[in-house]
Amino acid sequence: MVDQKKSKYWTPTRTYELELKIGNQDYTNDLYKVTIITSIEVPYQSFILELFLDPNDIILEKIYGQTPIKLICRFIGPVPNVELERIEFDLMAVTSDFSIPQEEVIGNDAKLASYKDRKPFTITTVPGNSYKTMNTIVNGSYQGITLSAVIQLLIENNTKGVTINYDTSGRNYDVMDQILVPPTTLYKAILFLNKTFGLFNGAHTVYCDYKNNIFIKNITAKMKTSQAFTLWHLATNADNTKIIEDNSKTSFYTYEDIITSYAGNSVFAALAPKNKFIVKPNDRLSSIIDIDLEEFSGNYGLISKTKKIYFNSEAIDPSVRIAYFKDHTGYNLSSSFINANLSKTISELATMTVNLYHNIYMDPLMKVGDAVQLNSKVVNVRQFTGKYILKASELMFTRTKDWETGARLYLIRTNRTD
């Protein structure tokens, strides 16, 4: 008989240490909660810092956004002072919220210096380098060139210290007669190029991490690559010792309930199962590109194994529900712009939300847009196992006696089951 207590409960052998500095001041002891948010929908990460401070300290130190912020996170192993992971973040404040007490006497500097009335103080921050990079103003006119070459030039000619990670699988290699990028931010310029021409024949994501690395990923193609890590959904009445004791950067586990949803009927009703795109090539007045949404979802969606897409074909009749799209001229007869934009729409038919609490390495959980393998030992959840794309992650650090950590992961794919 399996010892359920032994298999279910985890004995802490690792801990976390966080350090916070704002300018030359050390606020480590005032910090009580940190939330790190990374998403494929946002060009850079967000860091929410929560402290207990006297508002007068904020006023006297003039912490209004101009002061650099450094956050250091350490993952300490069972051997004292041995770091399993250490990440330093250079941040800039975006917004801050705090209340000013009314009992202070105007002009009483001595009282301001001695009296401490601590209140919650929240600072929302972003990595300074990635914020600057993705908001750099760019523009240009190009002839006889590919999209990837344009993006390479925009980044190299307007930014410094940036590393480009641009997926080659499924990339749109069409040579465009002319590309005009209007004055806008680098992030919006890349989105504009994708909407107009299609970066990939599949869904994309663009973001810049805290190291100032720009990632342009084909998340449709990522579903066919090896997973970045495996998520184990464990049953309480099974022997999970081997999984729990793994403690690697490629394996995480949870006993928590998994939240799942499916939006097949909603999306198919909104888009229509049959789509006709009226485009205007340069050698004729118009042309029509026909798209069967169910077939398209199986070929260009985020597919794990089976291509079966669930929707009510009687209520949403493919022979009757036909949508026409005429506002996008397209590029000659290329369907890349359809493959890129429509695939993003049908990429989130199935979603999973997973909560983690034990031995959480930060680096792999911040690499959104990569493939993740979900394995469940719970019988009624096994049909939902397989590959997903990590859409977003929230890493949460909360100080009690020591720093406790948790993570909420948001997974997406197109097909409901494997």
pLDDT of residue 116: 60
Percent of the chain with pLDDT over 90: 67
Domain 10-128 grouped into CATH 2.40.10.10: yes
pLDDT on residue 302: 97
31-39 and 46-53 beta bridge pairing: antiparallel
CA-CA distance, 354 to 287, in Å (whole number)? 45
- Write out the CATH class of domain 135-220: alpha beta
pLDDT digits (tens, 9 = 90+) for 372-409: 999 998 888 888 999 999 999 999 999 988 899 999 99
pLDDT tens digits along 36-85:
999 999 999 999 999 988 766 665 556 666 789 999 999 987 777 788 89
Decide if 212 contacts 160 (C-beta within 8 A).
no
- Predicted pLDDT of residue 60: 56
Q: How confident is the model at residue 304 (pLDDT cuts 50, 70, 90)?
A: very high
Residue pair 414/309 in contact by the 8 Å Cβ criterion: yes
The whole-number pLDDT of residue 8 equals 43
* DSSP letter (8 states) at residue 113: H
Predicted pLDDT of residue 131 = 96
335 contacts: CB under 8 Å, gap ≥ 6? 277, 289
| Mean pLDDT taken over the chain | 88
Q: pLDDT (tens digit, 9 = 90+) per residue, 144-191?
A: 999 999 999 999 999 999 999 999 999 999 999 999 999 999 999 999
User: What's residue 340's pLDDT?
Assistant: 95
- pLDDT score of 12: 47
Which residues 6+ apart lie within 8 Å of 249 measured at CB?
229, 361, 363, 364
Closest CA to 369 of 170, 190, 207: 207
Average pLDDT of the residues in 231-241: 88
pLDDT confidence tier of residue 31, bands split at 50, 70 and 90: very high
- Report the pLDDT value the prediction gives residue 59, as an integer from 0 to 100: 57
Residue 98, pLDDT score: 60
CB 252 within 8 A of CB 232: yes
Measured between alpha carbons, how far is 235 from 238 in angstroms, rounded to an integer? 6
Confidence bin at 289 (pLDDT 50/70/90): very high
Query: 9 pLDDT band (50/70/90 cuts)?
Result: very low
What whole-number distance in Å separates Cα of residue 39 and Cα of residue 299?
24
The more confident residue out of 84 and 134 is 134
Confidence of residue 33 (pLDDT cuts 50, 70, 90): very high
- Residue 108 predicted with pLDDT over 70: no
Q: What pLDDT shows up at residue 157?
A: 96
Q: Which of 42 and 106 is assigned the larger pLDDT?
A: 42
How do the domains of the chain map onto residue ranges?
Answer: 10-128, 135-220, 264-345
Tell me the pLDDT band of 341, cut-offs 50, 70 and 90. Answer: very high
Banded model confidence at residue 113, pLDDT cuts 50, 70, 90: low
The partner residues of 123 in beta bridges, in order of sequence, read 49, 96
For the segment 291-318, the average pLDDT, to the nearest whole number, is 93
From 94-103, 239-248, 337-346, the region with the lowest mean pLDDT: 94-103
Mean of pLDDT values over 191-208:
96
Which DSSP letter does residue 105 get?
A: P
**Rg of the chain in Å (alpha carbons):** 25
Select from 309, 304, 343, 126 the least CA-distant residue to 217: 343
Question: pLDDT class for 2, splitting at 50, 70, 90?
Answer: very low
Query: pLDDT value at position 1?
Result: 42
Here the tokens at position 390 are 């990590």
